[in-house]
Structure 1
């Protein structure tokens, strides 16, 4: 593994091909334009369950699937902290949240952190970012950027640029792609390799699809997840007290798209006071919206008097999935536009393309929406990578990888030495068939944003391929253990099961070793708790 820390494709070639002098000289003498281009595509809150390369139950995503079909599909990819801005900080820095300082959406990002785009830019890469960064209005290390302020808007969004703010009419997923392709066509320097971050707002809450897809998807019905009515009976207070239940905590207005007038007429008390997210629609757009969602409101008025908790949960789940998946349909279309451009311009063969999300998401599993927990649906994230002539097409990889690994991977791809303080591992050995040198047997997770929205308690833990152990702390002291092979839906906490006593001992010891490896500690836990007070 030590050699791969050096971040040199020359060294990798020497190890895997052998000492063929002509090939070695050719590698050394490559011009900068022969270094691979890098396109990093990331959506926001895109559950792996909503990509057909993983699961065909809910949606067909042929263009995202192309990346897996032409490359590699990771089935054990995860995040270190399942919340938007911290995940992005981990990706940029290659360091866990407790090291880079961006532990939650509320804390500031320390701009003294060195990010991999800065390093690539200094190494001769042309760099650009378009779409949703989520934090910071002036990202370092980019020759050009056009980013959404904060969460941004789905319709007629504002973008922050080096030349000032601008509002662009249209749908955000299409616009982000238009900006990306415009840069590639008109301002990309063909004499330089490029690193492009193409970042979608969708499918983040409040899940507002384009007109094309809300007309289509509001007519669909989706199968219910097995754990929609989970009772959390083997778990402690953390799962039971979280405020992300579809029945109680999902807004009928903001999330399910009922009008305030409908909710008032039916005299429904709302847990969430979130109002409509449609304030950027112009009159013409609003009329088209009302033509589709107006009848949904009228239908709900007829149904509501006979609904009980179960039937209301199912109704809210269907409305949620219709809009959530509708936004993803547009993401898939637009990913196809970018992939088509690479093929048409003969750029594909020398470009590594990554598709991922900043974390997973609950699509009704355990009765939830949102993310945050270390349970599988939010911990596991989609990861699909294609790299022609390096990755054998159609490979599925089950090794445990994380968003922590992207920075070092991209630096090695570019032939650049990674800083010693980065904490991930380059994925290049896995991508290029040298799996024997990969030796990670556990991944680490730590969530901090409590007390805060959704009330998910602070917790940390590790996952191996076989087990997952979680410690909830701060105002509780609770442990959970899951047998990932025999209980993949994670409904049975076996921390107190005598049959797992040795596993508990072993996993707790491994957890402490992993915390030490990544320089996390109880002292840091309390430091970040006190920072909230």
Structure 2
């Protein structure tokens, strides 16, 4: 055997000189196997997903750890949510399906909320069971779906943990950040009003602990920390409560918009904001900035822990928000649910293996794309019913030639619900039911009552002048047909329709 290998080496040397190279192959065991060590397949990457609640782009400037993520990784500059509402967005994130396919159209029954998500099979369709089946340890911490209660037994004898989750630390009403219950792997635990009970900090500690415990496992891990911050009532951690004393809400050109006669009727009725209202907006913005400091510290703790454990190069860290939030734009005091950029374009930043540093991708991404992205990273084929597409080509610095040109936004105005913590969903000044298209250079909205909006975002990025009435009939018909196709699409047909504009 040795003589044969020496002969092969001599022939290889001759070939290398004359032909530029050769390959030695040996059908015997590998070097590791010869030494008694079996060759292992490479471990799949870990994934940490930090999902915030109502975090708008104008808060990121005050988050140094997220800004560092942008320097270290890839920012998706045109990430558009399919509905700027918490529960509908989360249902889409979990399943990769548009709201018209999840059946979750509002935050609470009968058209939405946790009950509807569960009844429609959303928990089984979530990416979590597929990741767990492929070998991942999975954990969800923080917020799940609107209407979920941590003491819900799901028909059993102890608090219910949905399928697909190896570990579960989830609350129901964590918005005040104090005096809440967590379902901790089927055990109900109460947290009070002490400074150390501040929910975002508790989640950060549990997240770091999960990472440390997972480091010693042969399994890769997926962890989602879904904060309630910076959702109202805007309660910052005590250590941040006195910061940013002179800060005001940004005064963009759309702030307290002077002329809204061109806007749809639901908005035309809004009077100009007066000094007391503007003062409340400024105070709310300051508290939102204060509130995200603990989220930012969480991001820093997670990334530092990954580096200290030596697993940062094999772990994707994803930071994002379920929807945006307006504060004073277009005369709207505070809220979401519109198709305006403030509400539908949200921060999403990725760091991790092969992700280019300091780059911003301009392609239009949606929250339908997160589930198939996590599944591709985990080596799982997304279901045929998935409406979105994996972002992995973008994460590797590529530019897919057939990527979508148009994002779909769809919103149903719900009936009043006592479960709504903001009383925003069905407020008199909230938008009526609509569907919308968003491209790089335009926003087109069709309301259920027949009204229309069209903004030329190339020349009017703040969406001040509605020119729907001057659209050529052929253009209006094309947009309406495209909107119909997207609101009725499923699976690959959504990708096909999204390539039109």
The interval holding the TM-score normalised by the smaller chain is: 0.7 to 0.9
Give 1:515's match in structure 2, choosing from 487, 492, 495: 487
Name the structure 1 match of 2:459.
486
* CA deviations over 1:416-462 (Å, ceiling 9, x no partner): 11111111001111111231344211111110133443332110011
1:237 partnered with 2:209: no
Give 1:161's match in structure 2, choosing from 181, 184, 209: 184
Name the structure 2 match of 1:254.
none
* CA deviations over 1:173-212 (Å, ceiling 9, x no partner): 1111011112222356520000100111100011011111
Give 1:110's match in structure 2, choosing from 115, 118, 132: 118
Question: Taking CA–CA contacts closer than 8 Å with sequence separation of 6 or more, which of the two structures ends up with the larger relative contact order?
Answer: 1
Determine the C-alpha separation between the residues in 2 that align with 1:493 and 1:30. 63
Distance 1:101 1:31, change over 3 A: farther
User: How does 1:348-387 map onto structure 2 within 5 Å?
Assistant: 348-368=312-332, 369-387=334-352
Conserved in 1, the CA contact under 8 Å of 2:81 and 2:322? yes
For the pair shown, the structure with the greater C-alpha radius of gyration is: 2
Distance 1:127 1:158, change over 3 A: same
Which range is displaced more, 163-172 or 501-510? Answer: 501-510
Name the structure 2 match of 1:447.
411
Give 1:42's match in structure 2, choosing from 46, 51, 54: 51
Determine the C-alpha separation between the residues in 2 that align with 1:428 and 1:31. 24
* CA deviations over 1:341-374 (Å, ceiling 9, x no partner): 1111111100111100001111321232111011
* CA deviations over 1:137-173 (Å, ceiling 9, x no partner): 4332101111111444312432122232212342111
Determine the C-alpha separation between the residues in 2 that align with 1:335 and 1:496. 46
> Which structure features the higher share of helix residues?
1
Pairwise CA RMSD of aligned residues? 2.4
Aligned partner of residue 140 in structure 2, secondary structure = strand
* CA deviations over 1:473-519 (Å, ceiling 9, x no partner): 0xx22111111111111111101125x55543332232233234348
Distance 1:172 1:462, change over 3 A: same
Determine the C-alpha separation between the residues in 2 that align with 1:438 and 1:66. 31
Name the structure 2 match of 1:318.
282
Question: 1:31 Cα deviation (Å)?
Answer: 4.5
1:472 partnered with 2:444: no
Aligned partner of residue 118 in structure 2, secondary structure = coil
Conserved in 2, the CA contact under 8 Å of 1:400 and 1:465? yes
Aligned partner of residue 118 in structure 1, secondary structure = helix
User: How does 1:147-296 map onto structure 2 within 5 Å?
Assistant: 147-168=170-191, 169=194, 170-186=197-213, 190-230=217-257, 231-240=259-268
Question: 1:237 Cα deviation (Å)?
Answer: 0.9
Aligned partner of residue 342 in structure 1, secondary structure = helix
Determine the C-alpha separation between the residues in 1 that align with 2:410 and 2:292. 28
Determine the C-alpha separation between the residues in 2 that align with 1:188 and 1:44. 28
Q: How many residues align?
A: 420
1:457 partnered with 2:469: no
Conserved in 2, the CA contact under 8 Å of 1:156 and 1:172? no
Unaligned runs of 5+ residues in structure 2 are 1-22, 31-37, 151-160, 417-425, 492-501
Q: What TM-score, normalized to structure 1?
A: 0.74
Give 1:408's match in structure 2, choosing from 372, 382, 386: 372
Conserved in 1, the CA contact under 8 Å of 2:435 and 2:483? no
Which range is displaced more, 36-45 or 110-119? Answer: 110-119
Name the structure 1 match of 2:18.
none
Determine the C-alpha separation between the residues in 2 that align with 1:208 and 1:21. 65
* CA deviations over 1:362-417 (Å, ceiling 9, x no partner): 132123211101111101111111123x1111111010000110000111111111
